[in-house]
Amino acid sequence: MKKSYLITVILAGTAFVTACNSGNIRRNPGKTYAPDMVYSQAYDAYTANPVTANGLTSQAPVPGTIARGQAIPLHLEESDTAAFKALSFPYDFSAADIEEGGRLYNIYCGICHGAALDGNGPLYSSGKFAAMPANLVSGGEYYTFMAPGKIYHAIMYGKNMMGSYSSQLNEKERWQVIAYIKQFQSQNGGAPFTMGQDGSEAATSAGQPQDTTVSETATAAAVKDSVQAH
């Protein structure tokens, strides 16, 4: 009995070891149910592709494509100055929006136009600019009563020595900066502010413009980032 049991164990062990040893022979795993899903036929990104017209796998977006989360473009060209002048703002701004506009203004605009919007920014006061940038609060009606669309055009395409800031500010951020400027102007003798949530200045319950003092560190960083734009 014990002898038969021992023989059975030996045979079973031998069969198990033999089954685990393929003998360096590649075994057929059987049929694949969905080979197109197991073995992808897609081309890798950045590789040549005989199917596309330009021979590339990665393709540029279709002209006019709008990235997710981005606003619909205006479809106005730089030469459409009359259309920009008549352009109305697409947002009603809260106090938080205008505060954000002030923060963006200090980063991108205050370096030239000054924290007080008087044209006495660090680039001018330091002597790096020979001509004073536009005074947005007491530079005459041309600036203090300038239509928001014209300011938008200047941000998009630049004006005189000012370069374009279209790559630094997205569509809503440009309007936030403009809302901050128009509110500041309205509180310093300019046209009434009409870009608030209820069409009036009442939406900006903060009242007086925020503290726009630019720290020396922020100013130095802004100079470094902005000097090439001018």
- Quote the pLDDT of residue 201: 46
Domain presence at residue 48? no
Q: What is the CATH number of the domain that holds 150?
A: 1.10.760.10
Give 70-124 pLDDT, tens digit per residue: 776 677 788 888 888 888 888 888 999 999 999 999 999 999 999 999 998 998 8
What mean pLDDT do residues 38-56 have?
87
Q: Could you tell me which of 148, 166, 169, 143 has the C-alpha nearest to residue 93?
A: 148
Give 187-223 pLDDT, tens digit per residue: 888 888 888 765 544 343 333 333 433 333 343 444 3
Domain presence at residue 117? yes
Q: Could you tell me which of 129, 193, 187 has the C-alpha nearest to residue 161?
A: 129
What mean pLDDT do residues 169-173 have?
91
Phi, psi of 114 (to 5 degrees): 90, 150
Please state, for a pLDDT cut of 70, what percent of the chain lies above it.
Answer: 75
Number of domains in the chain: 1
Q: How confident is the model at residue 227 (pLDDT cuts 50, 70, 90)?
A: very low
- Quote the pLDDT of residue 217: 38
Structural domain span for residue 210: 81-229
Domain presence at residue 130? yes
Q: What is the DSSP string of 60-82?
A: PPPTT---TTPPPP----TT-HH
Q: Could you tell me which of 101, 110, 115, 95 has the C-alpha nearest to residue 172?
A: 101
Domain presence at residue 55? no
